[in-house]
């Protein structure tokens, strides 16, 4: 009873704040630039937290932390650290400043529009928009995963009710306030995530005899992945039970952020040079605590192997149930905090995804040509936000209720397809004047094509060898996603060597944004005297 009361109070306060911010920010979301990019004047704290909360959703806390913690043990913490340094620090350092400068130079507000203007090929906008639409929707639907099992700890309510609550509340503040409302709410939700993960890690360790006791207990569990006698200790070893697979997971979940439109889009709106520097540090620290904490917590999953609730009807481990099982015996306050934490993580990512989808379709497809008033564009964008939220909610409900394998597999390949298609062209587009239109098309085809083959294999439509190089590439959607990204990084410069060079004058003009002379104060530069 106490858990229900505390959770209800915290949720009411949480919902009221989210809606209030959305309504308050409405007056600042009157044109496309302010609605989509916050006027390109968002500070480091809001941008860093928006980046982090868009990155880490309930999928990580409830699904991935339990799944990879069960498979790798404490070595799963490397995934969180990889997310922090490869997925957060490096994008800020390598992409942040250049993205802000070039997208402003091109007057680009979306990733498809960037491709079209950067490479002088309008059709790239259409192709990229279709890829975003097809693969971002199932990814959006995956955000609802795991919410039901957590809410059932405090409330006995149907899954569809949870979906409706999350959808409606997210829709209200995004529709009213646009990017600025999303960024402010992301900041609040990020603080909740930071406090929540620290509390739950401390509580779980305390319940298992502290860090030393929990680690010792975990070290006594034998690993089914190590074929040797006396294989206890594998789940507490430095690189875990499956080091190669661990590297694959780190690369997909970390490198993928470099090519996801909802992630790099955060760099479009950052205010200035100082904000980039501060945001880099803030974002990295946030990722270390949230991602590192989630996967470190999941590393103790095997301690709950005797909990019947984590197993399905066929006796298989249901990974989405592991973290809820950890929390089932926790104090009421911890449970309430975690429920709000997971809801925050899901809503922040959902808001980012639907705003990205709606702005892409509105600006790059519906109003790609012709003079249309800013007011009309914003209105249509709001309609598409409603559309994408409704579609994602319906897909999530159908997947849970009828267990559609197509939806489940689409969710599995969506991250790899988006990152595989976009990462290389975007990265090289910022740095290389030699990158050609043909290489961009090849990257699109390769990324989507490879993951589509994986999708067909998962659905049983086609059969592929289980061994050798092909077997390794298509072993899982994670393996396939990594090869899609790495393959794109190789193919784009290679194809650019053998295809028509871009117009030098036009490219030089685009890259001139990096050469402009600006005045800075003495505190930023000591000069050459």
b vs e for 472-497, b when ≥16 Cβ sit within 10 Å of the residue's Cβ?
A: bbbbbbbbbbbbbbebbbebbeebbe
Choose the most confident range, by mean pLDDT, from 108-112, 208-212, 428-432: 428-432
pLDDT confidence of residue 529: 46
Rg, Å, the chain Cα set = 23
Cβ-based neighbours of 341, under 8 Å, separated by 6 or more: 61, 192, 193, 195, 196, 197, 200
Phi, psi at residue 461, to the nearest 5°? -75, -40
Average pLDDT, the chain: 87
At 277-298, the pLDDT tens digits run 999 999 999 999 999 999 999 9
At 32-81, the pLDDT tens digits run 888 888 877 788 999 999 899 888 887 788 788 888 999 899 999 999 99
pLDDT confidence of residue 146: 63
**Does position 3 have pLDDT exceeding 90, yes or no?**
no
pLDDT confidence of residue 520: 59
Specify the 3-state DSSP secondary structure of 338. helix
What is the band of 526 on the pLDDT scale with cuts at 50, 70, 90?
very low
Neighbours of 167 (CB within 10 A): 21
Task: List the beta strands (DSSP E) in 213-358.
Answer: none
What is the band of 155 on the pLDDT scale with cuts at 50, 70, 90?
confident
d(CA 274, CA 272): 6
Percent of residues, the chain, with pLDDT higher than 90: 40
Domains (ranges, CATH) in the chain?
2-18+42-402 (1.20.1730.10), 404-515 (no CATH)
| DSSP code for 311 | B
The 3-state secondary structure of 463-509 reads CCCCCHHHHHHCCCHHHHHHHHHHHHHHHHHHHHHCCCCCCHHHHHH
At 355-385, the pLDDT tens digits run 898 899 888 888 877 678 888 988 999 999 9
**Does position 100 have pLDDT exceeding 60, yes or no?**
yes
pLDDT confidence of residue 480: 93
pLDDT confidence of residue 395: 87
pLDDT confidence of residue 423: 96
Angstrom CA distances, 137 to 299, 356, 395, 411, 506, stand at 30, 11, 9, 9, 35
Q: How many helices (H) and strands (E) does the chain have?
A: 24, 0
Neighbours of 66 (CB within 10 A): 28
Q: Tally the residues of the chain.
A: 529
What is the band of 231 on the pLDDT scale with cuts at 50, 70, 90?
low
What is the band of 229 on the pLDDT scale with cuts at 50, 70, 90?
very low
Find out whether 163 and 144 touch, Cβ atoms under 8 Å.
yes
d(CA 382, CA 384): 5
**Does position 223 have pLDDT exceeding 80, yes or no?**
no
pLDDT confidence of residue 214: 92
Neighbours of 523 (CB within 10 A): 6
pLDDT confidence of residue 486: 95
At 157-190, the pLDDT tens digits run 788 888 888 899 889 989 988 888 888 888 998 9
Find out whether 138 and 411 touch, Cβ atoms under 8 Å.
yes
Burial degree of 498 (CB within 10 A; 0-12, 13-18, 19+): exposed
222 strand-pairing partners: 232
pLDDT confidence of residue 406: 67
**Does position 495 have pLDDT exceeding 90, yes or no?**
yes
Between these two residues, 404 and 208, which has the higher pLDDT value?
208
pLDDT confidence of residue 502: 92
At 337-361, the pLDDT tens digits run 888 888 888 888 888 888 898 899 8
pLDDT confidence of residue 322: 87
Between these two residues, 407 and 496, which has the higher pLDDT value?
496
What is the band of 309 on the pLDDT scale with cuts at 50, 70, 90?
confident
């Amino acid at each position: 009873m106490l858990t229900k009361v505390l959770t209800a109070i915290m949720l009411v306060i949480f919902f009221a704040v989210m809606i209030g911010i959305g309504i308050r920010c409405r007056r600042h979301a009157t044109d496309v630039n302010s609605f989509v990019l916050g006027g390109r004047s968002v500070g480091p704290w809001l941008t860093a937290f928006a980046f982090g909360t868009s990155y880490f959703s309930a999928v990580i806390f409830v699904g991935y932390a339990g799944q990879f913690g069960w498979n790798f043990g404490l070595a799963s913490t490397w995934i969180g650290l990889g997310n922090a340094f490869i997925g957060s620090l490096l994008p800020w350092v390598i992409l942040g400043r250049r993205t802000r400068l070039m997208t402003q130079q091109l007057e680009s507000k979306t990733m498809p529009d960037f491709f079209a203007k950067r490479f002088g090929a309008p059709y790239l906008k259409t192709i990229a928009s279709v890829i975003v639409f097809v693969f971002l929707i199932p990814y959006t639907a995956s955000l609802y995963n795991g919410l039901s099992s957590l809410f059932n700890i405090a409330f006995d309510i149907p899954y569809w009710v949870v979906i409706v609550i999350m959808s409606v509340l997210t829709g209200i503040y995004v529709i009213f306030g646009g990017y600025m409302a999303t960024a402010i709410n992301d900041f609040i939700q990020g603080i909740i995530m930071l406090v929540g993960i620290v509390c739950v890690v401390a509580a779980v360790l305390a319940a298992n005899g502290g860090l030393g006791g929990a680690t010792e207990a975990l070290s006594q569990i034998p690993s089914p992945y190590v074929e040797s006698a006396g294989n206890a200790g594998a789940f507490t070893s430095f690189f875990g039970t499956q080091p190669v697979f661990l590297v694959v997971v780190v690369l997909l979940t970390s490198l993928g952020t470099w090519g996801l439109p909802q992630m790099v889009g955060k760099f479009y709106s950052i205010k200035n040079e100082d904000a980039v520097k501060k945001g880099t540090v803030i974002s990295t620290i946030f990722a270390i605590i949230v991602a590192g904490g989630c996967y470190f917590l999941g590393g103790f999953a095997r301690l709950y192997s005797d909990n019947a609730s984590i197993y399905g009807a066929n006796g298989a481990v249901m990974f989405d149930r592991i973290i809820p099982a950890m929390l089932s015996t926790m104090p009421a306050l911890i449970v309430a905090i975690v429920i709000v934490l997971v809801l925050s993580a899901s809503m922040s990512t959902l808001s980012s995804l639907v705003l990205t989808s709606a702005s892409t379709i509105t600006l790059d497809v519906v109003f790609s040509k012709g003079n249309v008033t800013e007011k009309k564009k914003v209105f249509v964008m709001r309609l598409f936000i409603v559309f994408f939220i409704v579609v994602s909610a319906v897909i999530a409900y159908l997947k849970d209720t009828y267990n559609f394998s197509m939806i489940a597999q689409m969710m599995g390949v969506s991250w790899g397809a988006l990152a595989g298609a976009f990462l290389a062209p975007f990265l090289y587009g910022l740095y290389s004047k030699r990158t050609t239109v043909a290489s961009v098309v090849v990257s699109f085809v390769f990324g989507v094509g490879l993951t589509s083959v994986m999708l067909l294999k998962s659905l049983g439509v086609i059969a592929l060898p289980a061994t050798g190089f092909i077997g390794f590439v298509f072993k899982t959607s994670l393996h396939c996603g990594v090869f899609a990204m790495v393959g794109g990084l190789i193919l784009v410069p290679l194809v650019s060597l053998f295809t028509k060079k871009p117009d030098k004058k036009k490219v030089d003009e685009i890259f001139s944004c990096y050469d402009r002379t600006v005045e800075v104060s003495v505190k930023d530069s000591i000069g050459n005297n």
